[in-house]
Structure 1
Amino acid sequence: MRRERFDKMNVVPFIDIVLVLLVIVLATATFVTNQTVNVDLPTASSKKAEEKKSIAISVDKEGKYYYNKDELPLDAIKEKLMKLDPKKDLISLHMDKTSQFQFFVNIIDILKTKGFENISIITKK
């Protein structure tokens, strides 16, 4: 019995396997949404907790303003918003769909004057 000499290697099946693995990796990589880095933070004796406030401002269809479910006039809401930190605090606006657009503009004007960066407008699907 005579053996054949091994001169060439067929790489086509290897390329097929690599391409299938590449497709699997790319398909599963699109479903990864967690983009945080897990870090074990060191401790310090002068620890200060960062306080983020989440403020809900609502306007009903009659034009009544609410600050965290407390009914307040617009001037009182403006005073409370001026005391907050515009870079840290989160503001969410809940507007009735039948309310006048001017009520929305009044709140946005106050937030723009103070320079708030974290504003969300709450809607339903």
Structure 2
Amino acid sequence: MAKCKKSFKRFDQINVIPFIDIMLVLLVMVLTTATFIKQGVIPVDLPEAKATQKEETKKEVTVYVNAKGEMFFEKEKVNLTQLEQKLSGVSKKQTVVLRSDKESKFQDFVSVMDILKRLGHEQLYIVTKE
């Protein structure tokens, strides 16, 4: 009979590749959850209060910039100063929709964005065509 010699391989190192894979999956899960919390997508059951007033506010306001560089706030023609005054009266929770003509100057777009940033508006949509 022939003798079989068994060879054993000694493991002196730890394989960290599966550990890195698990950590990347956990990182993606944490970042995804943090994004949902910031946007308010996760449903929560809010407490009730008896002394509340229901505010009738529009969900969004629209700012237009046409090809001539004219600005409109909700279909009312305004200049930059008037636009800033009107946007300062808008709640930070309301969405601002920016509709800028593709032929308008980039500076007009930047001016509107500067006003929105200065006033602290973070709920912003920029409308484009597909």
Q: How many residues are treated as equivalent by the alignment?
A: 89
Tell me the distance in 2 between the aligned counterparts of 1:79 and 1:100: 22
1:69 correspondence with 2:45: no
**1:76/1:38 Cα in 2 relative to 1: closer, same or farther (>3 Å)?**
closer
| Identical pairs, percent | 34
Q: Distance in 2 between matches of 1:98 and 1:62?
A: 8
Task: Provide Cα deviations, 1:39-83, integer angstroms capped at 9, x if missing partner.
Answer: 7x7865323225543110000000000000111111101111122
Among 88, 91, 103, the residue aligned to 1:85? 91
Residue in 2 that maps onto 1:103: 108
TM-score, length-scaled by structure 1: 0.61
Q: Given that residues 52 and 90 in structure 1 are in contact (C-alpha distance below 8 angstroms), is that contact kept between their aligned partners in structure 2?
A: no
Where structure 1 has 5 or more consecutive residues not aligned to the other structure, the ranges are 1-34
Q: Is the 8 A contact 1:60 1:95 kept in 2?
A: yes
RMSD of aligned C-alpha atoms?
2.2
- Whether the aligned pair in 2 keeps the contact of 1:65 and 1:73 (CA below 8 Å) is yes
TM-score normalised by L of structure 2: 0.59
